[in-house]
Amino acid sequence: MLSAKETIALQRENIAKAAPILNQKITSHFAPITKFEPKILIICGSGLGNLTNKLKLKSHLIIPYADLPGFQQSTVQGHSGELWVGHLKDTPVIIMKGRLHAYEGYDIRDTVYPIRLLNNYSEKFCNGSLSSLIVTNAAGGLNLDYKMGDIMLIFDHINFPGLAGKHPLVGPNWDEDGDRFLAVSDAYDLTARKVFLQKYTELQNAKKITSSRTLHEGTYAFVSGPTFESRSEARFLKQIGSDAVGMSTVPEVTVARHCGWKVLALSVITNNVVLDLPQKASDIANGEKEISLDAGKADHEEVLQIGLAAAKDLEVIVEEIAAFL
């Protein structure tokens, strides 16, 4: 296993190769029409990859991750492993269909390599035009007011792997991107959240999105996975202030902020986390009715299905707000 120093050195080598390749592909595709300078990177979480259907079909470009040195391939269902480049209405964007997770066996720094690469590409070839991140995920609801299919605007996070030393900024600092010590107390842009709330309300009132889907704001707990939480872990997360829990997003948000980008992060609540303690065998022996331990247990296929249903609304909203970020 490579050290942090060796991993970052390898990433720098790969970025030096990949950024010109990315620029060549994008320039050759768009240059006859216009100079393409992306404003927003959108990372699609589980079940949300159909956002690419909103791109202008005559102009979009698809780049497989495998075409870019250093870009790893996701192994998780629902993450196809492609960059889609084009316009949401008139806003130039890059969409990641598929992200990497540390639980797949990748170094935590590999999961944020796309942001390092795209920031380098933007600075060298696009006058630093790429300055915002919209990131989505599927998450388990810990807050009892959250229902499956609801959307949570993330306004803060708890980075459990990071607190334990598994942090994307560990190792030699990327001085050209940001300072050694990064404050994340302002990680989730307030203006972007206000715009999202306004557009969400307008679209619900106009019946362009599901009227029964509630929008919340809350704190996202990042855990490494791949297991879903035990009952006691879930109770602990809720007790310390977490509203939802998932296995992604925070590393990408951290590095995007390190690069100086604005961040808007959204969770689709795809399951309600089991918070009740398991039944005691002694209580059953004393006559209490037995309750199956399978009741409420999370399932990845269910996560994908709930995500797909909510994605239709997210696609409409993200397309509307892109011009305002």
**137, 242, 248, 267: which is the annotated catalytic residue?**
248
Q: Is 300 a catalytic residue?
A: yes
Q: For the chain, how many helices (H) and strands (E)?
A: 8, 9
**104, 123, 302, 319: which is the annotated catalytic residue?**
104
- Give yes or no for a contact between 135 and 250, defined as CB atoms under 8 angstroms apart: no
**Segment (H or E) for 84:** strand 82-88
Residues pairing with 88 in the sheet: 55, 91
**18, 79, 310, 322: which is the annotated catalytic residue?**
79
Question: Structure tokens of 55?
Answer: 């791109």
Q: Is 60 a catalytic residue?
A: no
Rg (CA), the chain: 20
- Alpha carbons 285 and 280: distance in angstroms, whole number: 9
- Nearest of 281, 149, 157 to residue 218 by alpha carbon: 157
- Nearest of 150, 198, 210 to residue 321 by alpha carbon: 198
Residue 128 vs residues 1, 114, 119, 313: alpha-carbon distances, Å: 34, 16, 8, 30
Q: Is 138 a catalytic residue?
A: yes
**29, 60, 167, 300: which is the annotated catalytic residue?**
300
**113, 139, 271, 310: which is the annotated catalytic residue?**
271
CA angle in degrees (0–180, nearest 5) for 168-174-178: 95
Q: Is 103 a catalytic residue?
A: yes
Cis geometry, peptide bond prior to residue 226 (ω within 30 degrees of 0): yes
Q: Is 286 a catalytic residue?
A: no
Q: Is 79 a catalytic residue?
A: yes
Query: Within 13 Å of residue 169, how many CA atoms lie on the same side as its CB?
Result: 22
Q: Is 247 a catalytic residue?
A: yes
Q: Is 96 a catalytic residue?
A: no
**103, 224, 272, 302: which is the annotated catalytic residue?**
103
**247, 265, 311, 322: which is the annotated catalytic residue?**
247
Helix axes 300-321, 190-205, angle to 10 degrees: 100
Q: Is 258 a catalytic residue?
A: no
- Nearest of 254, 249, 269, 259 to residue 309 by alpha carbon: 269
**46, 120, 122, 242: which is the annotated catalytic residue?**
46
- Alpha carbons 322 and 325: distance in angstroms, whole number: 6
Q: Is 74 a catalytic residue?
A: no
| Catalytically active residues, by annotation | 46, 79, 101, 103-104, 138, 247-248, 271, 300
